[in-house]
Amino acid sequence: MNILVCDDDLSIANSIAEYIKNKFKHKVFDSINREDALIITHSEKIDLLIIDIVLKDDNGIFLAEDIQKIQPDIKIIFVTGYGNEYYENIYKHITPQGFLEKPIQYNILNFFIKQAENELKKKTAKLIISYDFKKYLITINDILYIQSSKRVCEIITNNKTYRCYKKLSDFPKELPEYFARCHQSYIINTKYIASFQLGQFTMTNGAIIPISDSYAKDVKNLYLMNFGG
Pairing mode of beta strands 98-101, 161-165? unpaired
Query: Tell me, what's the pLDDT at 4?
Result: 97
pLDDT at 111 over 80: yes
| Mean pLDDT of the 13-22 span | 94
Tens of pLDDT, residues 136-158: 999 998 999 999 988 899 999 98
pLDDT band at 54 (very low <50, low <70, confident <90, very high): confident
What are the pLDDT digits (tens) for 164-219?
999 999 999 888 888 999 999 999 998 899 988 888 999 999 999 999 888 887 77
Phi, psi of 28 (to 5 degrees): -125, 130
Q: Residue 229: its pLDDT value, please?
A: 43
pLDDT of residue 178: 84
Residue 45 CB contacts under 8 Å (≥ 6 apart), including other chains: 2, 71
The more confident residue out of 218 and 12 is 12
d(CA 85, CA 82): 6
* Residue 29 to residues 54, 90, 110, Cα–Cα distance (Å): 19, 23, 17
The stretch 77-103 carries a mean pLDDT of: 76
Q: Name which of 54-58, 108-112, 130-134, 220-224 the model is least confident about.
A: 220-224
Query: What pLDDT is recorded for position 122?
Result: 74
Q: What is the predicted pLDDT for the residue at 227? A: 55
What pLDDT score was predicted for residue 224? 65
Give the model's confidence band at 85: pLDDT under 50 very low, under 70 low, under 90 confident, else very high: low
Percent of the chain with pLDDT over 90: 58
Q: Decide which of 183 and 84 is more confident.
A: 183
Cα pseudo-dihedral 9, 10, 12, 17, rounded to 10: 140
DSSP string over 112-174:
HHHHHHHHHHHHH-EEEEEETTEEEEEEGGGEEEEEEETTEEEEEESS-EEEEE--GGGSGGG
Percent above pLDDT 70 for the chain: 91
CB atoms within 10 A of CB 190: 19
In this prediction, residue 223 carries a pLDDT of 66
Question: What sections of the chain are H helices per DSSP?
Answer: 10-24, 34-43, 60-70, 87-90, 106-124, 213-227
3-state secondary structure of 16: helix
**pLDDT at position 102:** 86
Residue 42 CA to residue 54 CA, distance in Å, equals 22
Using a cut of 0.85, tell me whether the model's pTM lies above it.
no
pLDDT at 199: 87
User: Phi and psi of 220, rounded to 5°?
Assistant: -70, -35
- CA 206/CA 199 separation, integer angstroms: 16
